[in-house]
Structure 1
Amino acid sequence: MAYRKVLKRSALVGTGAVATLFGFSQLMEYRKTQALPSRSFQLAALQDTEEFDVLIVGGGATGAGCALEAVTRNLKTALVERNDFSSGTSSRSTKLIHGGVRYLQKAIMQLDYVQYMMVKEALHERANLLEIAPHLSAPWWQLPYYWAGIKMYDLVAGVQCLKSSYALSKTKALELFPMLKKDRLVGAIVYYDGQHNDARMNLAIGLTAVRYGAAMANYTEVVHLLKRTDSETGVEKVCGARCRDVLTGQEFDVRAKCVINATGPFTDSLRKMDNQKVDNICQPSAGVHIVIPGYYR
């Protein structure tokens, strides 16, 4: 009887070991199938594909978003970025997800319905981003100016309001933030917004596009645009780009039915590759936010 129990235990242990080994092999197989293609593989895809439906120039938030949108619509999609992904504007935001208190002020003071709708849409997107990317986003708070405006901000957010704003007396404000100037200080307002990692979010979007089949390569710059003459109209049309691998210096052509300019502040540089005489349309601007240490909360 004891002998049978030992055999039974051995059988169970053996079965468990086999199941564990099988599970591990399946996990490794899954990881193989889910592995992202290397940069060299992506470069080869860019060179070997006869023609893409879409070529996107710029690997920032706009470019990665366009790539994901295109490839999930079953379009052959390519993207090139002359530096690293998120190395430009898309890693230098204020790290805030907000609806735009300034625009709400304009909507109220100037009775501007368009500004109001823009704030409403932005607050909806704030809630959406906090839901779909909780690992990259989080509720966050800061101090702005007017209690009435902030309460309106809460009202516009509706059920998607993160947390109700509130007022601080002058004494309480100085207790929490002793570095504030006492002269003419009346009080303070606390309201809640969202915070996120812009660069990681951009990279996540780009990686998702790659998983769907997009060919994307960083450190690949556009040297000049390719053009061909339309047989019917006789007009020259952009049909791709001559690209250079910044790391090796190798040049190659990427042909596409459509080229999207997603280069952000470098928009005019790419436009002038098409037409040197075109007027500039991009005017860089900058915003400033002050971030204080967490122990002041």
Structure 2
Amino acid sequence: MERTQLLEKLASETFDLLVIGGGATGAGVALEAASRGLKTALVERYDFAEGTSSRSTKLIHGGVRYLELAIKTFDKVQLNLVRDALHERAIMLRNAPHLARPLWLLTPLYRVWEVPYYYTGLKLYDLLAGRARLQPAQYISAKGTLERFPLVNPEGLKGSVAYQDGQFDDARFNVELALTAVQQGAVVLNHLEVTGLLKQNGRLSGAAVKDRLSAKEIQVSARVIVNATGPFSDHIRRLDDPEAPPLLKASSGIHIVLDRKYSPSDTGLLIPKTEDGRVVFVLPWLGGTLVGTTDDPATVVDHPRVTEEEIGYVLRQVRPYLGDIPREAVRASWSGLRPLIARPEADTARLARDHLIQESASGLLTLTGGKWTTYRKMALDLVNYAVKKFGLAAGESRTEQTPLVGGQGFSADGAKKLEQMGFSQDVAEHLHRAYGARAQAVAQLAAEGYGNRLAVAWPYLEAEVIYAVRHEMACTPLDVLARRTRLAFLDTSAALGAVPRVVELMGRELGWNPDKAALELANAKSRILEAI
């Protein structure tokens, strides 16, 4: 359906569930609900994954750090979180084989006692995964470590412990969650902001929403309203009850992207100790090297900025392991907010990433906390609660066995087929990994005259802009450059260079006049430079 038709559908029908928020949590709830036969709508005020869900460390993991904390503090909550996440890790890898893959991670060790400590801990990590475990953890000699990750500091190296976790493209995974929910019957719209909550006899009955693109305002009727807005959950709760006490304590995490030469393509690095006792990852990701993250108390804002102090912190943490990396080597950086359940006097780095379902007096269901890897478990718990509490007629959960749209009919040799069509190896591999079973549709657009690259050194094509507008609900240049492709997260300079062509292509598809195109051009450049 066209956007105007979807708006009319939202305004004219009554839904079982209205989900506010189009990040991993909200999109997960929409898919869970729609696939069980519930009449479901989702609205997102910006773009899918524009906030927290596109700004993760790109790992699908149980959380080695949380396991260590659980053991040290005898914290059953942390331990259960790790176990649940390891189970969900296997489901994500299976349901989106194009977007997710197992990745080896090395933990370099420089003290003899560290070898048995980390080896035992990572073996326990495998044990908790049970049948969902990946390749078993193993000790690797100093020589073997340097063969696997040549840039590791060899001085005093005692070897490393290698283990596997999952890695993924978080924003594209999120977009495909939303698309799969649509496939299951949900009405899903981005750039649609909730401005108020509607009540009848003290109970919620719907929401007032505003289309940020057309300024049109409508009302949406729903039996149950789900607040899945991550760090902004307290804002929606106060639309329901202005006196609602805060639920969350936000934490900021920043990441930087370096050239691919700083990591091998198939192996990452876990730096187990930093100057403040946290962990940092060095990971190969989409042709670059991802390094992060910080974990500091933060104020909730729409698009948090990265400071030079934070970039300096990350570079300082990797120096003992990789040597001096100059500031000019940083190609891109971004900051994200984590929604952590508030606990008085708690350090944000030590807050558990467990999730919470809260029901207000008027019936607002807030789902918050958690982590990317447990999005499906969170959605399952929420829908089960809503079905039981509000008497909704729903079938059994099917999401554990529901591939995302690009995973439906995915063929492992898809990249080879694209090469045979004339695409270069890097472009073929990218299309295969980004779109999965839908790569051929993008390839067809490329064959129709949109086969040029958006940036010389990167595999993103003009065809992807057209495809994103027609089939992936992209409405702005940043929707394309930051989340349908990941260029703005990988290379700020290259993304800036691509903006004019992206605006030109989108303008043709969406009928932008010169003033609208100029505004989109300016907005995109400003956001790429400041905060994506």
Category of TM-score, reference length = shorter chain? 0.7 to 0.9
Q: Which stretch shows the higher mean deviation, 163-172 or 92-101?
A: 163-172
The answer to whether the Cα contact below 8 Å between 2:149 and 2:263 also exists between their aligned partners in 1 is no
User: Is it true that 1:40 corresponds to 2:4 in the alignment?
Assistant: yes
2:189 is aligned, of 217, 220, 227, to 217
Q: Report what 1:8 is aligned to.
A: none
CA distance in 2, matches of 1:150, 1:259: 41
CA distance in 2, matches of 1:269, 1:224: 11
CA distance in 1, matches of 2:147, 2:256: 19
* Alpha-carbon spacing, 1:227–1:147, altered in 2? closer, same or farther (3 Å): same
Q: Which stretch shows the higher mean deviation, 149-158 or 175-184?
A: 175-184
CA distance in 1, matches of 2:39, 2:204: 17
2:205 is aligned, of 226, 239, 256, to 239
CA distance in 2, matches of 1:164, 1:288: 30
Mind listing any 5+ residue stretches in structure 1 that lack a counterpart? 1-36, 231-235
The answer to whether the Cα contact below 8 Å between 2:195 and 2:207 also exists between their aligned partners in 1 is yes
* Alpha-carbon spacing, 1:177–1:293, altered in 2? closer, same or farther (3 Å): closer
Q: Report what 1:204 is aligned to.
A: 176
Look up the equivalent residue of 2:193 and give its one-letter code: E
* Alpha-carbon spacing, 1:201–1:295, altered in 2? closer, same or farther (3 Å): closer
Tell me the TM-score normalized by structure 2.
0.44
SS of residue paired to 2:123: helix
2:48 is aligned, of 79, 85, 100, to 85
CA distance in 2, matches of 1:199, 1:173: 32
Shift of 1:156: 2.6
The answer to whether the Cα contact below 8 Å between 2:139 and 2:160 also exists between their aligned partners in 1 is yes
Q: Report what 2:64 is aligned to.
A: 101
* Alpha-carbon spacing, 1:175–1:283, altered in 2? closer, same or farther (3 Å): same
Percent sequence identity over matched residues?
A: 48
Task: Write out per-residue CA displacement over residues 242-262 of structure 1, whole angstroms, 9 at most, x where no aligned residue.
Answer: 111101111111111111101
2:166 is aligned, of 194, 197, 215, to 194
Shift of 1:76: 1.9
User: Is it true that 1:293 corresponds to 2:263 in the alignment?
Assistant: yes
Q: Which stretch shows the higher mean deviation, 174-183 or 85-94?
A: 174-183
CA distance in 2, matches of 1:212, 1:176: 43
Matches within 5 A, 1:162-177: 162-174=134-146, 177=149
User: Is it true that 1:128 corresponds to 2:91 in the alignment?
Assistant: yes
CA distance in 2, matches of 1:80, 1:296: 37
Look up the equivalent residue of 2:52 and give its one-letter code: T
CA distance in 2, matches of 1:143, 1:213: 43
The answer to whether the Cα contact below 8 Å between 1:42 and 1:215 also exists between their aligned partners in 2 is yes
Shift of 1:269: 0.9
Look up the equivalent residue of 1:259 and give its one-letter code: I
Mind listing any 5+ residue stretches in structure 2 that lack a counterpart? 109-117, 268-532
Relative contact order, CA 8 A, sep 6+: which one is greater? 1
The answer to whether the Cα contact below 8 Å between 2:24 and 2:174 also exists between their aligned partners in 1 is yes
Q: CA RMSD in A?
A: 2.4
SS of residue paired to 1:284: strand
* Alpha-carbon spacing, 1:290–1:170, altered in 2? closer, same or farther (3 Å): farther
SS of residue paired to 2:199: strand
CA distance in 2, matches of 1:73, 1:99: 27
Shift of 1:115: 3.6
* Alpha-carbon spacing, 1:132–1:192, altered in 2? closer, same or farther (3 Å): same
Look up the equivalent residue of 2:22 and give its one-letter code: G
SS of residue paired to 1:222: strand
For the pair shown, the structure with the greater C-alpha radius of gyration is: 1
CA distance in 1, matches of 2:230, 2:100: 23
Shift of 1:107: 3.7
Shift of 1:293: 2.5
The answer to whether the Cα contact below 8 Å between 1:177 and 1:296 also exists between their aligned partners in 2 is no
SS of residue paired to 1:239: strand
The answer to whether the Cα contact below 8 Å between 2:138 and 2:162 also exists between their aligned partners in 1 is yes
CA distance in 2, matches of 1:85, 1:186: 44
Shift of 1:154: 2.2
Shift of 1:276: 1.5
Q: Report what 2:128 is aligned to.
A: 156
The answer to whether the Cα contact below 8 Å between 2:16 and 2:223 also exists between their aligned partners in 1 is yes
SS of residue paired to 1:143: strand
The answer to whether the Cα contact below 8 Å between 1:90 and 1:198 also exists between their aligned partners in 2 is yes
Q: Report what 1:277 is aligned to.
A: 243
CA distance in 2, matches of 1:175, 1:165: 17
Q: Report what 1:261 is aligned to.
A: 227
Task: Write out per-residue CA displacement over residues 97-138 of structure 1, whole angstroms, 9 at most, x where no aligned residue.
Answer: 111212322343344455434322222211222112111110
Q: Which stretch shows the higher mean deviation, 52-61 or 117-126?
A: 117-126
Shift of 1:185: 4.1
The answer to whether the Cα contact below 8 Å between 1:98 and 1:193 also exists between their aligned partners in 2 is yes
CA distance in 1, matches of 2:231, 2:178: 20
Shift of 1:44: 1.5
CA distance in 1, matches of 2:80, 2:197: 39
* Alpha-carbon spacing, 1:179–1:288, altered in 2? closer, same or farther (3 Å): farther
Q: Report what 2:198 is aligned to.
A: 226
The answer to whether the Cα contact below 8 Å between 1:94 and 1:288 also exists between their aligned partners in 2 is no
Q: Which stretch shows the higher mean deviation, 143-152 or 167-176?
A: 167-176
Look up the equivalent residue of 2:8 and give its one-letter code: A
* Alpha-carbon spacing, 1:116–1:277, altered in 2? closer, same or farther (3 Å): closer
